[in-house]
Amino acid sequence: KEPLAILMIPLKIQFVTYTKKRVLRCVIDYKSCYVLENKNKK
């Protein structure tokens, strides 16, 4: 069960976020993930 936010994040960050702990933190800190995705938006 991977949140769509992770899929939107660039590969480099996605790799880091792919770890279970990171993914969980991503789900809890949804705003953080969104900020990262927005920052790296082309």
Contact status, residue 37 vs residue 5, Cβ threshold 8 Å: yes
CA 24 to chain CA mean position, Å = 10
Kindly report the number of other CB atoms within 10 A of residue 36's CB atom: 21
Number of domains in the chain: 1
pLDDT at 30 > cutoff 60? yes
Q: Taking the alpha carbons of 11, 16, 19, 25 in that order, is the dihedral positive or negative?
A: negative
Both tokens of residue 23?
A: 């993914």
41 φ/ψ angles, rounded to the nearest 5 degrees: -70, 135
pLDDT band at 13 (very low <50, low <70, confident <90, very high): low
Whole-model pTM above 0.75?
no
Mean per-residue pLDDT for 25-37? Answer: 61
By percentage, how much of the chain surpasses pLDDT 70? Answer: 0
Domain extent for 25: 4-39
- pLDDT value of residue 19: 60
Is pLDDT above 50 for 42?
no
